Structure formats: C-alpha cells, structure tokens
Structure 1
Amino acid sequence: MSSVSTTSSTGERVLGSLQTVGRSLMLPIAVLPAAALLLRLGQSDMLGQFHWSVIHWDWLASAGNAVFSNLPLIFAIGVALGLTGTEGTAALAAVVGYLVFNAVFQNIIPQVKAADGTFSPDPNITMGVLGGIIIGLTAAGLYKRFHDIRLPDYLGFFGGRRFVPIVTALTAVILGIIFGIIWPPINTGLDALGKGIVFLGPLGAGIYGFLNRLLIPLGLHHILNSYFWFQLGTYKGATGDLNRYFAGDPTAGHYMAGFFPMMMFGLPAACLAMIRHAKFSKVAAGILLSAAFASFLTGITEPIEFAFMFVAPVLFLVHAVLTGTSLAVCYLLNIKIGFGFSAGFIDLALNFNKSNTTNVWLLILVGLVYAVIYYFVFSFFIVRFNLGTPGRGEASTGLSADWILPESQRGPKKVKGETAPVANEAPVATATAEAGAFEDNDTRLAREVIKALGGKENLQSVEGCITRLRLFVNDPDQIDEPRLKSLGASGVLKKGKVVQVVMGTQSDRIALRINRIRKEATPDDVNV
C-alpha cells in the first residue's frame, strides 16, 4: 500500500513539475505576437515596399527578426523567471548561463571547413530553443538552491544572490561540454523523427492536432507545441514550423494552418450550438458570444473550451478529434499559413498574402465547412446526452441559471455600506477579508478562493497560468468545489494533490495575490 502511495505521490510531483514547465514557456511565447507583427509589416510585400525619402520600412522586419534570432536566449530568461516567481537574479543567471553554454557548445560540436580554409560550427547541428529551456531550468534550480548561501568572510561579497550567476556560469560550461558531445547524434535522431512525422503527411499533422487539444487539461500542450513550432525541421538556421514559416520556408506552415478553421469558425459555431440548446439562452449568450468573438479574432480558445471541458468531457474529446482532422485536411489541401500569436483573424489578415502562404481561400472554405460540422455535432451530443453546457444549469452549486460567470461578475459581492477607495488612490492591502473594504476586487476574490481551497495551511504551492490556477495541496478533499464555482471557476481538475482551478484570464493576477496573502502573518490567519 505504501509503495502504491509513494508511486502516486511521485507521479503527482512529476505531473506538477511538467505543468510548471509548461506554464513557464508561456512567458517567452508571449513576446512572439509583437515580433511577428514587426517582422511581417517590414517585409517586401507589406510596408517594406514603400521608401519615403530616407525612410526604408524594412527596418521593421529587422526589428522583428531580432527577437526570432534570439529565441533561445529569450526562452532561457522566460523559463527562469517563470519558475522563480519573476526573480531578476534568476533571469540574469539565465542570460550569463546561456551565453556561456552556447559559446562552449559551438566549439565542441563538429566543425566544418569553409572555402577560405577557416572552420566554423556545423550549422545543421543546433539545439534551438531547447538549449534556452535547459539553461532556464538550470538557472531556476540553482537560484532556489543557492540564493541565500553563506560563504566564508573573505568570500562574503560573492555570497547570496551574487553567487547564483557564478555557479550558473560554471554549470553552463559543464553542460556545454556534455551537450556538445551528446547532441550531434541526438540531433540526427530528432531529424529522423521530424522526417518521420513529415513522412506521415496528413496523418502526422492530424495526430499532432489531436494531442494538442487533448493535453490542454493537463497543461502539457505547450511542451508539445515547443517541439513542432520551434524544433521541427531547419531552414537557413531557423528551426521549427513557426520560425521556418516567418523565415520564408516554402514548406512551413503545415502544423499551424489547421488551427485556423477550428479557432475562427469551428468553436464559434460550437458556441452558437450551446446557446441554441441552452435552457437559459441569455446566460449562455452572455458567456459565450464574447468568447466566440475572442476565438475568431485572436485565436484565444480557452474561455470556450473550459466552458464545456469539465461538464461535458465527451464534447472535448470530439473537439480534439475535429481539430486533428482539420490539420489533416489542411495538409491534404496543401494549405500553409502561420501565426505569431494564434490562429485568429488578426494573424490570418497579416499573413494571407505572405509569399510562402498557400491556398488561403481554401482555408476559409474549409473553415465554413467546419463551422457547420461543429454546430451540428455539438447540437447532437448536447441534446442526445443532455449535457450540462453553459446555460443548461448546474446542480452542484444550486445556481439555477449557470455557474460559469463572465469575468466582470466574478468574486465576492460587496458588503452593503462599504466605502470605495478615493479616486487615484492605491488600494490598501488589509489583513483580513472583513477589513477588505479598500482592497481591489482581485485581492478580495483571492481571499475567498483561499477559503474555498481549504485555507492557507492546505496550500503547498500556487501558480498562475493564462486561464487557471495550478495548485499543489495537502488534502484535496478540503477543496469546496461548489464554492469555487460560485466565485466564477468554470472547472476544477484534480489529479491526486495536483489541482487546477479554471478562473479565466484573471488567474495569474489571482495567483499573485494568493501568494502575497499566504505570506501574511496575522492573528486572523486561522480564519482565512
């Protein structure tokens, strides 16, 4: 029995760690939209074709390319920050570590002789963003281990946080040597894997699309994406389907194109189906119409997916299958297009006339077909199995209309007679929720969420992602799910002591406040 318990605990820790890594990848990925916009606008078929006097707009492309050319370093910084709670020392250590690592790595890997007789690193051997992720993980781990280290008095200046960049640099030297030796054969194996996936053609794209959606509840889809978008294949030094697409690779875009029909057409149509079959259509419309528009315009799908993921998991499985078929169909039709942020209208408008975009009009036709498919398939399953999608009621909370609230309506209600803070005056953080008249709404909500999670003593760790809180708790049975739903959570996912609470795009702000409140030491802690 103890062996099973130990194995389960280890598995939960591994899952929690993987989720944390996946979350940390979102910080560096967040810089891509701005970089992609600059890169696209500065190209020769956009603003780059206009020369006004001495102004040449192709400098915009150079600005965007500066980000794409340094993605490994950006990932190193982002991962280190994400894993240490935005500690600047860890970020500095990541910069130092990556620069050292890359210099050593480039000298250890096989060298090729140029026409002038000089030698340079083999350009076909590259770790891409994986090298940055490894150094980011290393810097974060070393920061947690050594940020408060005490050294002998004569070395005291180098103790504490100053020691972290030093030890990271030394570790990076060792890692550079190790990976410089072992990576060339691994690189060959990954190339073979990539060719194997490409060899599978539409089947490979379909499997990727299916797994991309299926892993969302576990938060591991970012790790999968990091391989396909940033590692798969090479073109003029650029690696990954996303990087190669913006570098002009005519073969890139297969692993992004199929998301456009799903995000722009399929899921908005699914929203219409859920509204159509809701018992409380106004409630469903209030929740889903704005989410549908966000999905169409920007490709942000989580507000829709989390609206049915937990109450109707069969719909989520159907959604994952349809996403896989969308990628496969777009591959078969030789539709190629990429995105800097997500597969929404904004990225479609920016890239529809890019030189290596193909069959974009077919993409729109496929999207319209998928809108019809999503509408009728969702309608069938909702009616046939009486699924509890938004607006159809939720018995677990006792709320007759629904339990998925618009973000603007989430959180505890104001107590009658409370005084609002003075205009332009920063809210004052108070010790308890009862004294929280001058706290901002997110802090008030955070206190209520802590109570619903079993109190501060039940929380081992709390992290915020784009749409959810990631928790490691002492006792998952202490979590009050109906209370969390009444506060606006659209779902609670438990895997042993690893818990995810879907709170929407405010999740990161709530997590910051929860961690701030956890550090408070007041006599009222027992009541929180």
Structure 2
Amino acid sequence: MMAKFQRFGGAMFTPVVFFVFSGIIVGLTAVFTNPAIMGDLAKEGTAWYTIWKIIDSGGWTVFNNMEVLFVIGLPLGLANKAKERASLEAFVVYMTFNYFVNQILQMFGKNVGVNINSDSATSGLKMIAGVKTLDTGVIGAILIAGIVVWLHNRYFDVRLPDWLGVFQGSAFVAMIGFFLMIPVAALFVWVWPVLQHGILQMQYFMVKSGNFGVFTYIFLEKALLPLGLHHFIYAPFQYGPAVIEGGTTLYWVKHISQFAASTKPLIQLFPEGGFAMQGMSNIFGIPGIALAFYSTAIPKNRKKLLALIVPGVLTAAFAGITEPFDYTFLFIAPALFFVHAFLAASLATTMYAFGVTGDMSAGLIDIAAKNYIPMWANHWQTYAIQWAIGIIFIGIYFVVFRFLILKFDFKTPGRSDDEMVNMFTKDDYKKKKSHSQNDNEKRNPFEVAAGAYINLLGGASNIQSVNNCFTRLRLTISNPELLATDNQFIAVGAKGVVRNKNAVQVIIGPDVTNVREEVDNLIENGGWEDFNPSKIVSDQQEENYSSYTATEAQLFAPVDGLFIGLDQLNDEVFSKKMLGDGFAIKPTNGNIYSSVEGVVESIFPTKHAIGIKSNCGAEILLHLGLDTVELEGKPFNILIKEGDHITEKTKVAEMDIDSIKKAGKEPDVINVITNMDQYKMSAIKKENNTEIKHGDPLVVLYQK
C-alpha cells in the first residue's frame, strides 16, 4: 500500500513541472505592464504593453487548465502500460463526466441549490474545456483520473472475441468509463455543493490557525518527504482547496498586479501565503547545512568537498531541487533530516510572524520572478526583513548541524579518513529501502505473444523499428539470419511471416494493436527474455455463432474490374492465404461497394482496410490496394462509419487509382474471409482477368 501512495505522489509531479515556468512568465509580465515600475512605456495602448499582454495570455495556459493537466498527467505516472493511451482515455472520460454534470445541473440544479446559469464568482461553477460544470478543482480531476487509471490497468488487456476486436483496449476502457460516469456525476452533483461549504469552513480555520498552522504544514511537508507522501500535504494547499479556492499558486499569480500596486502589508493582502513558504529552507537552510559539512570535514577532504557540495547548494537555492542533501540525511542519520524539518518549519513560521508571505515554494529564480521583482516597489521592507531572518537562520542551521555531527560523529560528506562520503540520490535511497518481491502476476495473452515474437525475431537488439497496420506487425530487422522459422511463429499464434531482407511482417490479425503495445513495452523495459517460445502454446478460442440467424452468406464483387485469384497477387500475405481465402479485383474505377450484407466492424485509421461482419458471422476484410497503408489515407474517401448496416448496394468508399499508381503501389481490391477455419466456400467459377461489375455474385460461404 505504501508503494502505491509513493507512486501516486510521484505521478503528481508530472503536471506540476509546467507551473514554475508559467508562473515566472506571469510574474514578469506583471512587472513589465506595471506603469509604476516601467513608467509610460507600460501604459495601455503602447506597443510594449501590447506585446507583453500577448505573452501574458500564453503564460496563463497552464493555470487556466490545471484540471485538464492533472487528468492527462496522472495516468502517465500511474498507468502500468500504454501510458499515452491511458492519458487519452482519462481526458475523454473526464470530459464525459463534465458533460453529464452539466446536463444534470440543467435539469435538477435547483434541487441541490446550484444555478447552472449563474456567472457569479461564488457560484461553485467553472468552465472546463468549454463545458460549464461544478468547480471540483484538481481534487475532482485527480479522482476521475484515478478511476480511469484503475479501469485502464484492469481492462485494457481484456481480450474480446474477434468479432468485437474493434472494442478492445482504449475503446473498452472508455466504454466502461462512459457508463460509470453517469452515477459518479450524479453523486458529485448531490455531494459536492455540501463539500464546498465544508471546504470554505476549513479554509477559514486554516487561515485563522496562524503560526501554528504554518509550522505544522511546513514540518509535515518536509518530514514526509522520505516516504514520498509530502505530495499529499502540499498539493491541497498549493493547488486547492485546503486554504483557498484554486490553491495558493493560482491565487497569487491572479493577484500579482493588485498586490504589487497596493501599499497594504502583504500579510493582510495574502495571509494564506504562509502555506507556500517551504522554499525558504532551500535558500537559507541548505547553505547552513553545507557550511556545517565543510566545517566538520577532515581538512584534507575539504577541497574535494567544495567541488561536491557547491553545485548542490546552487541547485537547491536557485532551482529548489534539494534531493542530494535531503537523501544524504536519510542514509547517514535520519535524525538529522527531522532536525532539518523542524528548523525549516521554524524558519518559515518566524518569517510569517514578521509579516513575510507570498508564493515562495520553489527556488530563488521562481521566487524572484513572482515575488521580489513585481512587489519590490511597495513591499521591499518585507523582503529586507525576510533576508535578515534568513541570514540568521543560516547561522542557526550551521550551529545546530555542526553540534550534532560532532556530538554523534555522523559520517557526513568529508568526514571519512579513507575516502569521501558521497552525496546520494533518491534512486540510491530507494535501492537501499527496496526488497525483492515475487512477481506472480498472471501474464496477459498479448504480452505472452509479444514476448514470444521478440524472441523469435532474434531478441530486442535485433529489432531496429516496430510499426503495425490493420493486421500485421511491421518490423525492420538488423540480422535476418537470427529469425526463427515460419512454423515457429505460427506455433505461437501468428498466421504467417513475410520476409524481404531486413523488412519483416508478422501476420497477427485484429489483435495486432494490443500486441504492438506489449512489444514496445517489453523492448523499452525489458522482460522479453522470460518468454520461451517453445513453452508457449497458442490458445485459440472457438466462437459461438449460434446467435446468428443466417448460416450462409453470398459474396459479391465490390468494384468494377478484372477478376483475379489471390494467388496472382504480388503480396505473400494474400497470395499464400495467410489471412484467409477469398478473391481480388483489378479495378477500372474507384467506386468501392460492400461485398457482403452485414455490419461495419472496423475502419483502419489510414482508410485502406474495412472490416465487415456478415449476417452469418463471417469476418470479411475489404483491403484497398497493396501496401497502401504507407499512403496514410490520402487516396481514400470512406463513406460509411463503424456500426453501419450495409449491403452489396452500399457504396463504402472512393479510391483514387491514379494517385495509388503514381505512388508505386497496386490498386488491387482484395476480399478475404479472415475466420475461414469456420466456413467452407463454394467454388469460384470466374477465370483470371474476367471482366465483372460491382454487385456480381461470386461465391457463397457456408458455416461448417
């Protein structure tokens, strides 16, 4: 459970990384558009003012879309695999949730005391990506993202029957999320207005808690860092709603210009800023610790020690990254780290008691851009007090740490007789704390297949690139001689292999997208060696087609042209019937019709292939041209959509034959039955190069 909390905390950092730069931009534009600082140059209407207002609008991108950033960012850190797809799923489900909330409020808002038409700042509503919905802040976004990640990790790899293959993966997760969001949205509409009232009371309490509240917050934020739980402390304060709606970061940047122009003390303007002072220990605490390290080091090691700690001090003070120092305490003496947490809380609380406040949670660069530069004209006295207190605390840090190091003989950097004590990183700490765990998780079938294919392809080092189309895994191989035989590929589930020097195609079928995801994952993260192809048995499930009312299907010519058998095609996948039996036509025009009555099951993104489920359950692949996947859909115009019921009279696509030929491809229209093992086909009585018209009956399929 602790590992899950730590992982969640780490994922929180994914969207947060954008805030620092955006905050600096907003802070600087507040300075450069302030006439009190820049004079007449910054008056409204000047070119200078106009340019900086344009820049300012871009700086607000992150702050105006924090919820969306968290929804997209968290899955990148939490999803077990296919992280990019998980992010897209989260965005779709989150927006579905907001649309549901909007509609429920329009119909029942008065029953819960919410007026969806209100534009008041205290209405509890917000526009998110163009949808007016409850203002649940990043808390709501995190909850929905968490639900989607759970759905993704649990259901993304679920293998559906081939005839439902189009709904596998992300589509399946989004479908479940769609229906789940209906009760979730209803629950939020009922509960959240009550929570908003409670949050307002909590904010009032936290602000009134004064110095005690600030000390407790800073101490916990620092002390919980070793456990990776500090994110749970600062996130509700910085990004809302623990102490102020929207969080201290957003509130400060929204009011920079107002605060800069005011002569009132900052503590009166922004008392909530005491909960954004954790950056003070970066600037004034770390230098004191470094001085203690230097002072207590063996003299012969001090020169080397300077080269070690000076970059760390500068990084901590200017960028707010304190990892080398923080994790060194954990290795050497955990007690020192908790002393650091106590002193950091004392430092921030003392400054707050003397009226220092603002958005000071990072390093000196960020703090200067958002505090010192814009506020200096009217609030320089506050910052003079701050630095006086800070310098005093550098001395306090130095004295306390030096005393404890010498008293308890902690082997801090430079205190070893025989070698330097190194600074450590978070990875070092995790390795020290980690224990080996048995991985008994059941492998999903796509991962099993992917691992087997990588082994049969000569290993990850033999694979230069991986891609896929509708049915094939397309690879570039370094050494073709390392590849296994076709029979070995077929034994683990492949329908065949096409080899052309370094270009290899593994024919898989509708599962290819899921298998491709697992191939990428295993190549990137390792583990493919664990799959021994000789021990993997292909598990082919038989589908029950008893639900179909028809037991046979008539296939028709889908286009005008010349009939040709599959064995005449210049493509081994089709000519050797790896995907199934069927026929092909050399078209004389680009009007493509359905070859069977049924339902459109899938349309490949590059538009060169259409999957049709006939009324008797036969799966028909209508493939437009050879290797036309490389043309990225440009020669095709698809006229139907997935789910449409079509017949031989339905025009499904238009194909630009000339552009296909100019690209060096063949425009042959191919009709293949991909689940041919469940059907038998009547004899085709057409000779090669026989002229036919679309709609001509060609062959009948019968269930076996």
Same fold (TM over 0.5): yes
Q: CA RMSD in A?
A: 3.7
Q: Is the 8 A contact 1:264 1:296 kept in 2?
A: yes
Distance 1:207 1:514 in 2: 46
Among residues 380, 383, 387, which one is paired with 1:360 in the alignment? 383
Q: Is the 8 A contact 1:80 1:91 kept in 2?
A: yes
Report the equivalent of 1:305: 326
Q: 1:451 to 1:265 in 2, by over 3 A?
A: closer
Q: 1:390 to 1:514 in 2, by over 3 A?
A: farther
Residues 442-453 of structure 1 aligned to structure 2 (within 5 Å): none
Compute the displacement of 1:94 (Å): 1.0
Report the 3-state secondary structure (helix = DSSP H, G, I; strand = E; otherwise coil) of the residue aligned with 1:363: helix
Report the equivalent of 1:245: 252
Q: Is the 8 A contact 1:228 1:255 kept in 2?
A: no
Distance 2:155 2:232 in 1: 27
**One-letter identity of the residue aligned with 1:26:** F
Compute the displacement of 1:224 (Å): 1.0
Compute the displacement of 1:346 (Å): 4.0
**One-letter identity of the residue aligned with 1:241:** T
Q: Is the 8 A contact 2:70 2:141 kept in 1?
A: yes
Distance 1:369 1:514 in 2: 54
Among residues 49, 60, 68, which one is paired with 2:42 in the alignment? 49
Among residues 343, 368, 371, which one is paired with 1:348 in the alignment? 368
- Whose relative contact order is higher, 1 or 2, with alpha carbons under 8 Å and at least 6 apart? 1
Distance 2:365 2:146 in 1: 35
Distance 2:433 2:92 in 1: 42
Q: 1:207 to 1:120 in 2, by over 3 A?
A: closer
Among residues 9, 14, 27, which one is paired with 1:27 in the alignment? 14
Please say if 1:374 is aligned against 2:397: yes
Report the equivalent of 1:211: 220
Report the equivalent of 1:386: 409
Q: 1:121 to 1:265 in 2, by over 3 A?
A: closer
Distance 1:294 1:514 in 2: 34
Q: Is the 8 A contact 1:104 1:176 kept in 2?
A: yes
Among residues 329, 333, 349, which one is paired with 2:354 in the alignment? 333
Residues 122-271 of structure 1 aligned to structure 2 (within 5 Å): 122=125, 126-232=135-241, 239-248=246-255, 250-251=269-270, 254-255=273-274, 258-271=277-290
Please say if 1:66 is aligned against 2:66: no
Compute the displacement of 1:202 (Å): 1.2
Q: Deviations over 1:39-85 (max 9, x none)?
A: 22332338993742794211222112121111011111111111015
Distance 1:194 1:375 in 2: 36
Q: 1:53 to 1:354 in 2, by over 3 A?
A: closer
Q: Is the 8 A contact 2:28 2:369 kept in 1?
A: no
Q: 1:273 to 1:228 in 2, by over 3 A?
A: same
Deviating more after overlay: 136-145 vs 276-285: 276-285
Distance 2:234 2:302 in 1: 36
Gaps of 5+ in 1: 1-13, 394-398, 411-444, 462-511, 524-528
Count of residues paired in the alignment: 412
Report the equivalent of 2:419: 401
Distance 1:513 1:291 in 2: 36
Distance 2:159 2:255 in 1: 51
Among residues 91, 94, 101, which one is paired with 1:98 in the alignment? 94
Among residues 111, 122, 129, which one is paired with 2:114 in the alignment? 111
Deviating more after overlay: 48-57 vs 129-138: 48-57
Report the equivalent of 2:306: 285
Please say if 1:83 is aligned against 2:78: yes
Among residues 311, 331, 336, which one is paired with 1:315 in the alignment? 336
Q: Is the 8 A contact 1:257 1:327 kept in 2?
A: no
Distance 1:172 1:366 in 2: 51
Q: Is the 8 A contact 2:412 2:421 kept in 1?
A: no
Q: Is the 8 A contact 2:328 2:424 kept in 1?
A: no
Q: 1:261 to 1:113 in 2, by over 3 A?
A: closer
Q: Deviations over 1:240-264 (max 9, x none)?
A: 1111111117326523553343111
Gaps of 5+ in 2: 106-111, 127-132, 257-268, 442-520, 533-704
Greater strand share, 1 or 2?
2
Q: TM-score when scaled to structure 1?
A: 0.69
Distance 2:432 2:527 in 1: 12
Report the equivalent of 1:517: 526
Report the 3-state secondary structure (helix = DSSP H, G, I; strand = E; otherwise coil) of the residue aligned with 1:352: helix
**One-letter identity of the residue aligned with 1:105:** V
Compute the displacement of 1:171 (Å): 2.3
Q: Is the 8 A contact 1:42 1:59 kept in 2?
A: no
Residues 13-24 of structure 1 aligned to structure 2 (within 5 Å): 14-24=1-11
Compute the displacement of 1:522 (Å): 8.7
Distance 2:347 2:394 in 1: 11
Report the equivalent of 1:423: none
Report the 3-state secondary structure (helix = DSSP H, G, I; strand = E; otherwise coil) of the residue aligned with 2:414: coil
Report the equivalent of 1:499: none
Distance 1:71 1:116 in 2: 20
Bigger Rg over Cα? 2
Q: Is the 8 A contact 2:415 2:421 kept in 1?
A: no
Q: Is the 8 A contact 2:218 2:275 kept in 1?
A: no
Compute the displacement of 1:155 (Å): 3.2
Greater helix share, 1 or 2?
1
Q: Is the 8 A contact 1:92 1:165 kept in 2?
A: no
Compute the displacement of 1:519 (Å): 4.2
Report the 3-state secondary structure (helix = DSSP H, G, I; strand = E; otherwise coil) of the residue aligned with 1:112: coil
Distance 1:344 1:28 in 2: 21
Report the equivalent of 2:668: none
Q: Is the 8 A contact 2:202 2:242 kept in 1?
A: no
